[in-house]
A and B are shown apart, each in its own frame.
Chain A
Amino acid sequence: MIAFLIKRLFHAFLVMFVISVISFAIQDNLGDPIQQMVGQSVPESERAELREELGLNDPFFVQYLRFAKNAAQFDFGYSYIFNEPTTQVIMRHLPATLELVAATTFLIVLLSVPIGVYSAIKPRAWLSRAFMGVSIVGISIPVFLTAIVLIQLFAIGVDFTPFPADTAWGAWLNDLLSTDGGMPAYGRGNPVHVFGTWDTNFSSLEGLTYLVLPAISLASIMLPLFIRLIRAEMLEVLQSEYVKFARAKGISLRRIYFVHALKNTMLPVITVGGVQIGTLVAYTILTETVFQWPGMGLMFLDAIERSDIPLIVTYLMIVGLIFVITNTLVDLIYGLVNPTVKLTGKPA
């Protein structure tokens, strides 16, 4: 276990090193920082002075070392737009994004396993076919469109009256097709303060309603992906000899499906899933923009628009770090589920 963690820590350092070099290279090439800091009226001589003072004339390597030294202490400089340390800005936005990702992950885990398993066990049932059809649609439609449609349907509401409203059945059908709206679709409402920079939406029902639409639209691509992945894996596992043998042992179908088959199905799903959860953090940019969710994604877009280079770099580093952490966690979980993988280094 310790050996595994040390190895992973080494990997993490390597990955972070590469990310930091790339981020820094971007920083070095995204326009002139002096231009960003001072106005038009500052004469060239003062600019040169400032440049020398900030060490911008040093070779790339020296500049990078200075950057890395500060980065190791979580000091990525000051954000231009917020005028405070970038880490502080990130920390203020991080909880909103993490809560959104957590809610989405919860949705995905809660729905993908039963739906995937069901459509593998009963591949010909009309419900399975419906799930498969809807999932293709879900994968194909971009997140922002899903989000806009959701807002129209459930936040604004739709009045749909193709049937005569003066008849009972017509009114009923119209009612059925129309939606009331009223779901919150802007920002996080009034999250409750927990500690530090962490405000939560999870503590009250009202707070949770703010999460519903953003989480659904963020899940709209990942969920179908997971359903299809689980279904495909499960179908394959159900064909295997050990499932056949389990049936020959007279074990109940429920145990065969949910112990024998599901456990094997989840092995590849965990591997892919872990990486995808990391990707979710990146996907939030779109969702957060549409719903004005005050998370890191929205912040990042802001930072790009206003060329806030230190903030962009910090965001890249933090997202990279999140990826590295989730991947390590996934490997740990994988080792716990799959007995053929020994993390402990203990002789078998």
Chain B
Amino acid sequence: MALLEVNNLDVRFALRGGDVRALRDVCFSLDRGERLGIVGESGAGKSVAAFSLLNLIAKPGYIAGGSITFDGEELSGMKDRGLRRIRGNRISMIFQDPMMTLNPVLSIGEQMVECLKAHRRISTREARAISLHKLNQVQIPSPETRLDQYPHELSGGMRQRVIIAIALLLDPDIIIADEPTTALDVTIQAEIMDLLLELCEKHNVGLVLITHDLGVVSQVTQRMLVMYAGRVIEQGPTREIINDPQHPYTQGLINALPQMATPGSRLNQIPGSMPSLSNLPSGCAFHPRCGFVNDANGEPRKACLDKVPGFVDSGNCRVACHMVAELVNQQQRDSREEIL
């Protein structure tokens, strides 16, 4: 059994006009030391997925169904007290904007020591020693002085290093990183990402990396999920998805990378925009933007308009798309006929 298993996760936001489903049927798993990327447009549900793992979604959001199993324990219905043992201790998080993540009125040392003391019975002196060690690991210049400094005295890149050090403080099993480099200077982004990758590899820490940077995903992760409108639409080994995307949406995403366009022409894009979660199109949520809705006769596929696609196995990947399902079935029929 994998270290972290998420099955049919269903997260909703209780709003005045009724519940809005932010996540539906999200399933994935993470092995010890494995690195998983979650990609998708803004509003696809990436961050909600990350925060719901530790039940940190802000009200009115709540987990309506499904299971989150971590090391044999069920997290989805767990009380806050129980989750607190795990948060920051066995599963820690890195947030998007380092300028906002650290408390401006507490020194770096205080913010590290309190985290250690929340999970271990140790003295402040020991906690400071461990903090210093971790600050060394994230290669912050002159770590001794940093402990007594306040966040505003540090640059964005340094703050994100501090946050990585906090995430590593208690030698967690998994780090959930929610767009850890988005808010940083481009020159710093690569540094921070390399550091995170190196530390995860060295300490055998699992990583759930949420990003919309496909380049980062392909460099860092072994497996990836592509999300659209609160649903996982494609998952599998990162290399295979990047090299041979099956779902029309994933294809569109990769096609939209600037390096995929011919020089001098407009960049490729996926027409339209993501639907509002409270008003999803019928059938496959992507069908209004999909270039493959029509079947061989030029008619829109009825299934695409009516039925939510289930997963089909295509190679090592799992894809939720009627068109791919048709192709796979066709292939299977062909190969069966060949054998006969």
Which of under 10, 10 to 19, 20 to 34, or 35 or more describes the interface residues of A?
20 to 34
**Cβ B106 vs Cβ A260 within 8 A:** yes
B85 within 8 A of A: yes
Known: A242-B104, A263-B105, A339-B107. A249 touches B115 (CB 8 A): yes
Chain A residues with CB under 8 A of B101: 241-242, 245
A259 within 8 A of B: yes
Which of B71-79, B88-96, B253-261 lies on the face that meets chain A? B88-96
C-alpha spacing A147/B118, complex, angstroms: 49
User: Nearest CB to that of B117 among chain A residues?
Assistant: A251
**Nearest 3 CB-CB pairs, A to B?**
A250-B88, A250-B87, A249-B88
Using CB atoms and an 8 Å cutoff, list the residues of chain B in contact with chain A: 54, 56, 58, 80, 83-89, 92-93, 95, 97, 100-107, 114-115, 118-119, 150, 152-153, 163, 166
A253 within 8 A of B: yes
A86 to chain B, nearest CB (A): 45
Chain A residues with CB under 8 A of B85: 250
Known: A248-B92, A249-B92, A250-B87. A255 touches B114 (CB 8 A): yes
**Cβ B102 vs Cβ A242 within 8 A:** yes
Known: A264-B104, A348-B153. A251 touches B97 (CB 8 A): no
A91 to chain B, nearest CB (A): 40
**Cβ A242 vs Cβ B150 within 8 A:** no
B255 to chain A, nearest CB (A): 34
Chain A residues with CB under 8 A of B106: 259-260, 263
C-alpha spacing A153/B235, complex, angstroms: 72
**Cβ B56 vs Cβ A244 within 8 A:** yes
Report which of B87, B102, B104 forms a contact with A248, defined as CB distance below 8 A.
B87
A343 to chain B, nearest CB (A): 15
Chain A residues with CB under 8 A of B84: 250-252
**Cβ A339 vs Cβ B152 within 8 A:** yes
Select the residue from A249, A253, A259, A267 with max chain B CB neighbours within 10 A. A249
B124 to chain A, nearest CB (A): 14
Chain A residues with CB under 8 A of B119: 250
**Cβ B104 vs Cβ A340 within 8 A:** yes
Chain B residues with CB under 8 A of A51: none
